[in-house]
Amino acid sequence: MAERVLADGTATAAGLAERFGVSLMTVHRDLDELERQGIVRKFRGGVTAQPSGVFESNVQYRLKTMRAEKAAVAERALKLVEPGMAIMLDDSTSTLEMARALRLGEVTPLTVVTNFLEAINLLSDQRGIHLLALGGDYDPLHSSFLGVSCVEAVGQVRVDVCFTSTSAVRGGYAYHQEQHIVSVKRAMLDAAARNVLLVDHTKLARVALHRVVPLSRYDLLLVDDGASPQALRDLDEHQVAYEVCPRARDTEVIRRTPAGAPSATKGGDDRAGAV
């Protein structure tokens, strides 16, 4: 039942009862348990695994969504990483795409600092990568380590570049639904010489419960080419340095800096910064 909801995003109790050949009472009991585990949220007549302005979605749902968009953004982010660097990755599925690529071992030696168990598992046996795992309270909803202990651990390190994502971007601010996530992200930004925000286009022109930081705290915002002109106009109006990263079918990178007009680079391989 959990797999079905995670695959579809939403489901009705009646639909689940029919699909699995059980009573509505059985479905509701199972959904109560899934809600207790943080996998879904119930609403009148059904459940959803999708995020809202108040609730973040379960990591298992996020792992399945917007993979092509996240991969495009991660591919561009990796061009900012050079051998010998120390980088930090947050507990987002966008930066997890970076971790997947780092397993190829093409950028080493490298120090990677992260609180994301999914990334730790991917990189723990990778030669050439010095992995520093940030401890704290384990949160199964996010598959990461959070809390005061994590914030304190972040404060003990300094990295060249920090790559993070967030749930919503609008009006010159980054937003997230959960306060304990916000505190960790803020600490990560303070620990880096340079900060890069990775978002897929569905996060633009949205807000969530808590402001994380102004977008001016980021040296660069990366978003996939599904971003609407209206959403990009909002970034322009707030003088955000950003790049639009093409998915595999395209070959052009659109850039904009706060002081300049957009430019296009064929191939997306130019390492010159847009900051």
Distance between CA atoms of 108 and 164, rounded to whole angstroms? 21
**Residues paired with 221 in a beta bridge:** 197, 242
Query: pLDDT over 90 for what percent of the chain?
Result: 60
Residue 245's pLDDT band (cuts 50, 70, 90): very high
The residue behind tokens 């973040």 is 56
pLDDT for 16 equals 83
pLDDT for 129 equals 97
* SS3 label, residue 46: strand
Residue 49's pLDDT band (cuts 50, 70, 90): low
Alpha carbon separation from 42 to 12, 20, 32, 62, 89 (Å, rounded):
10, 18, 8, 18, 31
Assess whether pLDDT exceeds 60 at residue 260: no
| Angle ∠(270,274,275) on CA atoms, nearest 5 | 140
- Strand 46-48 versus strand 10-12 pairing type: antiparallel
Q: Which phi and psi (to 5°) does residue 89 adopt?
A: -120, 130
Please check whether residue 49 is in contact with residue 10, taking contact to mean a CB–CB distance below 8 angstroms: yes
Query: pLDDT over 70 for what percent of the chain?
Result: 81
pLDDT for 100 equals 94
Q: Which residue has the higher pLDDT, 171 or 64?
A: 171
Assess whether pLDDT exceeds 70 at residue 223: yes
DSSP assigned state of 59: H
pLDDT for 256 equals 66
Query: Residue type at 162?
Result: C
Q: What share of the chain is helix, strand, coil (3-state, %, to 5)?
A: 35, 25, 40
The residue behind tokens 């990334």 is 119
Provide the angle, in degrees to the nearest 10, between the axes of the packed helices 67-78 and 93-102. Answer: 60
Q: Which residue has the higher pLDDT, 31 or 228?
A: 228
What's the mean pLDDT in 147-175? 96
Distance between CA atoms of 48 and 37, rounded to whole angstroms? 13
Q: Which residue has the higher pLDDT, 7 or 227?
A: 227
pLDDT for 135 equals 93
What's the mean pLDDT in 13-36? 82
Residue 31's pLDDT band (cuts 50, 70, 90): confident
What's the mean pLDDT in 158-180? 95
Find the helix or strand (DSSP H, E) in which 185 lies: helix 179-190
Please check whether residue 105 is in contact with residue 127, taking contact to mean a CB–CB distance below 8 angstroms: yes
Assess whether pLDDT exceeds 70 at residue 57: no
What's the mean pLDDT in 171-200? 96
Assess whether pLDDT exceeds 70 at residue 13: yes
pLDDT for 176 equals 93
Residue 87's pLDDT band (cuts 50, 70, 90): very high
